[in-house]
Structure 1
Amino acid sequence: MISKHIRAIIFDFDGTLVDSMNLWHQIDVDFLGRRGLVCPDDLSMAISGKSFTETAEYFKERFLLPDSIAKIKAEWDEMSRNTILNEIGFKPGALPFLSWVYAHSIPMAIATSNTRSTLELFLPQYGIDRYFHSLHFTCEVGRGKPHPDVFLDAAKALDVLPEHCLAFEDTLEGIHGAQSAGMAVISVDDALQTHRVDRIKESSLYHIHNFRELMTPEFSKNFIGD
């Protein structure tokens, strides 16, 4: 049961609101392939939760890349932009749930390792940019997940105490970051996290496959206080 003291919701983006984690894995494969390198099996785990900048720094160091951090990030941005804007879909039930929460006047924010430029193009396409009070990026706060910084930044902008925020995440790093900030967490099923799903379930308040699971009178009563 979710306590009635929850007064705001903070969403991760990739793997939580949108089904985009396979895209990022393919970008890793293609980016390294352009340089004659094979994507190692442990890469996804090694970079999980890192900010965009931290991930670029990791790639540069691990693969001894001559490219600057700025050039690596720009190439990833170029590789991902069209696919995210035109081919990536929402997780099951995510759009109806966002509309439902917005209709109940619950403040929402996004805390993500993606880029501001991408989200500021993506969200208006679906007319949901107005749903979010603010957008928060691990690159802009200086540290990725599992550090709590991006969640604390979102809570501050929402003017809600962290312990009064509910976070939605798909990775252990995101869950731990939100919990370190003092937030309750609901985990969202994602195919790329299957190998860790038991730990994810154990670490979160609820684990959902479809956001519609929460669009119930019980959730409304316990969360919104209706």
Structure 2
Amino acid sequence: MINWTSLETVFLDMDGTLLDLHFDNHFWLEHLPRRYAEQNNLHPDEAKDRLISMIMAERGTLNWYCTDYWSERLAMDITSLKSEVGDLIGYRPHVASFLQALKKTGLQSVIVTNCHPDPLKLKLQRTGLDSFVDGIVSSHQLGRPKEDIAFWKDLQQLAPYRADTTLMVDDSFSVLESARSAGIAQCLGILTPDSKQAARETHPEIPCVHHFDELLTSIHQQRSLHQKSPLPSAG
């Protein structure tokens, strides 16, 4: 599924890939509508419909992910509201084992996320995720979402990489398609980003897994063989 021996860099999405997307889905679909209804004296269903309409109108743009944008537009402190349900922030299954395996291989691992820096800070405080990887880049640092093909060229400024030796792992097929179009050699999709929802259907052209335990054996085997391969003969 993945040719680990050809890689130098592994880019990893965060929400829905390393962390359970249930936190974000619960916040945007349940907690925020409830608090928005309270603030604006609306029926919860009306508040939810109104919010979803506004949010969907920004899909695929940086505003979709921007805490500052939504705080200003809704006149609510989104980061503080997220902290109210911060106990839901957690890892997806087998993530720690997968990241530890990556570290042992010597591959460079970088989280590349659309998450705004404020909720990113909250999630790192809750999980210690930053201790497992070599770096973290938020798309807000570059002013473009990962869905924008130009993002991948700009990413070189903060996380230099060679596209032909790079893997991108993400639960968003639109992001993976953007990465492929930008020349990223290998892409991998996540089918179960939210622990409370059923798995998604596979992508017709992008390999996918449900959980990272499906990759552990191949990482160990391929990298072990690669490291043990004999040097070329001098004669």
**TMscore range, shorter length:** 0.7 to 0.9
Stretch deviating more after TM superposition (31-40 or 105-114): 31-40
Report the AA paired with residue 11 of structure 2.
I
Question: Equivalents in 1 of 2:69, 2:157: separation in Å?
Answer: 33
Write the distance in 2 (CA, Å) between the matches of 1:102 and 1:69: 36
Q: Which structure 1 residue ranges, 5 or more long, are not aligned?
A: 58-66
Aligned-pair identity (%):
19
Deviation at 1:214, TM superposition (A): 0.5
CA contact (8 A) 1:49 1:144 kept: yes
User: How far off is 1:210 after superposition?
Assistant: 1.3
Distance 1:149 1:70 in 2: 27
1:134 offset after TM fit, Å?
Answer: 2.3
Q: How well do the aligned residues superpose, as a CA RMSD in angstroms?
A: 3.5
Q: Distance in 1 between matches of 2:83 and 2:183?
A: 33
Q: Which amino acid aligns with 2:115?
A: N
Matched ranges for 1:125-144 at <5 A: 125-144=126-145
Whole-Å Cα distance in 1 between the matches of residues 130 and 194 of structure 2? 27
TM-score, normalised relative to structure 1: 0.74
CA contact (8 A) 1:6 1:223 kept: no
Q: Is the 8 A contact 1:12 1:112 kept in 2?
A: yes
Quote the residue 2:204 is aligned against: 202
Shift of 1:178: 1.9
Give the structure-2-normalised TM-score: 0.72
Deviation at 1:154, TM superposition (A): 4.2
2:33 counterpart residue number: 29
Name the aligned partner's letter for residue 38 of structure 1.
A
Provide the C-alpha distance between the structure 1 equivalents of 2:214 and 2:101, rounded to a whole number of angstroms.
Answer: 12
Structure 1 residues 126 and 69: alpha-carbon distance in aligned structure 2, compared to 1, 3 A threshold: closer
- 1:160 counterpart SS class: coil
Give 2:78's aligned residue: 76
Which 10-residue stretch deviates more, 7-16 or 133-142?
Answer: 133-142
- How far residue 32 of structure 1 moved from its aligned partner, in angstroms, is 4.8
Contact 2:7 2:165 in 1 (8 A): yes
Work out the CA distance in 2 between the residues paired with 1:158 and 1:68.
26
**In 2: Cα distance, 1:179 partner to 1:136 partner:** 19
**Contact 1:112–1:136, Cα closer than 8 Å, also in 2:** yes
- Is this contact kept in 2: 1:136–1:150, CA < 8 A? no
Code of the residue aligned with 2:95 in structure 1: it is A
Partner Cα distance (1:203, 1:50) in 2: 24
Q: Which of 129-138 and 179-188 deviates more?
A: 129-138
Task: Report the CA distance shift for 1:122/1:107 in structure 2 as closer, same or farther (over 3 A).
Answer: same
- How far the C-alpha of 1:220 sits from its partner, in A, is 3.5
Asked if 1:38 is matched to 2:47, the reply is yes
Residue 119 of structure 2 aligns with which residue?
A: 118
**In 1: Cα distance, 2:8 partner to 2:96 partner:** 20
Measured after TM superposition, the shift of residue 113 of structure 1 is 1.6
| Structure-2 residue corresponding to 1:146 | 147
Measure how far apart 1:201 and its partner are.
2.5
Deviation at 1:215, TM superposition (A): 0.4
**For 1:108, what is the secondary structure of its paired residue?**
strand
